[in-house]
């Protein structure tokens, strides 16, 4: 039973992660036009849900696509530390 709960928890976390990644990419597309493959890969490389929350807050206030790219690069760096 514990094993099943563990798999359910991982599935729930993965779902949250993918939902947040998708929301960020959708926002970037809507606000700045299409995103580059590089930016998409960077966003999808971030697995920490808390970092994705922080990324969302920062990207939503970005004034330009270049600012958003810098913010994303910063979060990727934090993910890899």
pLDDT tens readout for residues 59-68: 999 999 999 9
Question: Does the pLDDT of residue 4 top 90, yes or no?
Answer: no
- Cα 15 to Cα 39: distance, rounded to the nearest angstrom: 20
Question: Does the pLDDT of residue 46 top 70, yes or no?
Answer: yes
13, 17, 48, 42: CA torsion to nearest 10: 150
**pLDDT tens profile 23-33:** 999 999 999 99
Query: Which letter, b or e, does each residue of 36-66 get, where b requires 16 or more Cβ atoms within 10 Å of its Cβ?
Result: eeebbebbeebeeeebbebbbebbeebeeee
* Banded pLDDT at 45 (limits 50, 70, 90): very high
Q: Quickly list H helices, the chain.
A: 2-32, 37-45, 49-60, 65-80
Q: Are 78 and 51 in contact (CB under 8 A)?
A: yes
- Closest by CA to 35, choosing from 10, 66, 56, is 66
């Amino acid at each position: 039973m514990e094993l099943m709960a563990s798999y359910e928890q991982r599935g729930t976390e993965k779902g949250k992660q993918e939902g947040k990644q998708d929301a960020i990419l959708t926002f970037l597309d809507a606000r700045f036009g299409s995103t580059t493959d590089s930016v998409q890969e960077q966003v999808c490389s971030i697995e920490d849900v808390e970092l994705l929350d922080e990324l969302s807050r920062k990207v939503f206030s970005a004034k330009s696509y270049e600012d958003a790219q810098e913010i994303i690069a910063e979060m990727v760096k934090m993910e890899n530390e």
